[in-house]
Amino acid sequence: MTTQKIVAFIDGSIYSESVCHNAAWIAGRTGAPVELIHVLGQRDTSGKRDHSGAIALGARTALLQELTELDAQRSKLMSHRGRAILDDARATLEKDGVTEINTRLRHGDVVEAVSEVEGDARVIIVGKRGEDADFAKGHLGSNLERIVRTSQKPVYVAARAFKPVAKVLVAFDGGASAMKAVDHIARSPVFQGLAIHVVTVGSETPDMRKDLENAKAMLKAAGLEAQTSVLPGQPEKALADLIEQDSFDMLVMGAYGHSRIRSLIIGSTTTAMIRSCKVPVVLMR
């Protein structure tokens, strides 16, 4: 049986180094190989464009030829840049002790790339924001929500800075994706030896308390140190405050709340948490 790989998407942004360190951390705990992927979008690789509509009548053929050559040069430069980004990422992983590394320069759409490679992946790692991170601090990366909507594997959203994980907060609402998150934690070597805290935000009910106890029992059976609690308030603020106050290193949550109609939009709480959290967020479908 082929070992499932860790697939890390890098784009040359300030988040790419964190993506690499997180991939190395997971590789160290699982022994899984890492595949680094940089995707060249259509605008980066299109070496042939029709400039005829942008040039006035009577323009010389030589000018059209020059513009076409410039496009071809740009496409070649973007490919070289992509290779350089992958080489730097490989060097980062090697410095972190990872030995099994594969790099791939792909063309097209990043979401299509995720769909094509996730079959034998254990996790998809992406940065919270892309190359314009410093100019869009209040927004998620343009491709992140699309990846979360389509990926069938856990999506690991790397924060800007990396640090080894010791304490994990699990946002739990009793829904299918939340239960899947607990099951994943119980089965994965990534979480062995870490402190797990399963939290529900809202009013405590007998059914919710029972679900929490079931989650705790599942984690305990896997040999994990686990505790549960119910917090009052709104999920976005209550969870963000808890992460800050108790110095959690990671948030795990379902991409969809069980009370929402399953649609092509990830849950509003999920989006808010990714935006506000300064720690990695692992999303389960």
Model pTM greater than 0.75? yes
DSSP 169: E
Run of H or E residues at 284: strand 281-284
- How far does CA 33 lie from the centroid of its chain? 17
CB atoms within 10 A of CB 262: 12
Q: What is the pLDDT of residue 221?
A: 94
Sole residue written with tokens 């040069």: 73
Query: Residue 237, SS3?
Result: helix
Residues facing residue 196 across a β-bridge? 168, 226
Run of H or E residues at 252: strand 250-254
Q: Which two tokens stand for residue 201?
A: 């935000």
Q: What is the pLDDT along the chain (285 residues), one digit of tens a residue?
A: 457 999 999 988 889 999 999 999 999 999 999 999 999 875 555 545 554 455 554 556 777 777 777 877 877 888 899 999 999 999 999 999 999 999 999 988 888 999 999 999 999 999 986 544 443 333 345 677 788 878 889 999 999 999 999 999 998 888 777 888 899 999 999 999 999 999 998 888 898 899 999 999 999 999 998 999 998 888 778 888 899 999 999 999 887 654 433 333 345 666 667 777 789 999 887
Whether 224 and 191 have beta carbons less than 8 Å apart is answered as yes
Q: What is the pLDDT of residue 261?
A: 34
Q: What is the pLDDT of residue 274?
A: 76
Q: Which two tokens stand for residue 169?
A: 């907060």
Of 135, 75, 96, nearest in space to 36 by CA: 96
DSSP 240: H
Distances (CA, A) of 219 to 103, 169, 193, 279: 35, 13, 11, 22
Whether 28 and 190 have beta carbons less than 8 Å apart is answered as no
Q: What is the pLDDT of residue 29?
A: 95
Q: All domains of the chain, ordered by start, with CATH?
A: 5-44+78-156 (3.40.50.620), 163-279 (3.40.50.620)
Whether 127 and 141 have beta carbons less than 8 Å apart is answered as yes
- How far does CA 70 lie from the centroid of its chain? 35
Q: What is the pLDDT of residue 54?
A: 53
- How far does CA 122 lie from the centroid of its chain? 12
Q: What is the pLDDT of residue 122?
A: 94
Q: CA 255 to CA 244: how far, in whole Å? A: 21
Residues facing residue 20 across a β-bridge? none
Q: What is the pLDDT of residue 7?
A: 96
Q: What is the pLDDT of residue 259?
A: 45
- How far does CA 119 lie from the centroid of its chain? 16
| Helices (H), ranges, the chain | 16-30, 42-45, 61-95, 110-117, 144-150, 176-187, 206-221, 235-245, 268-276
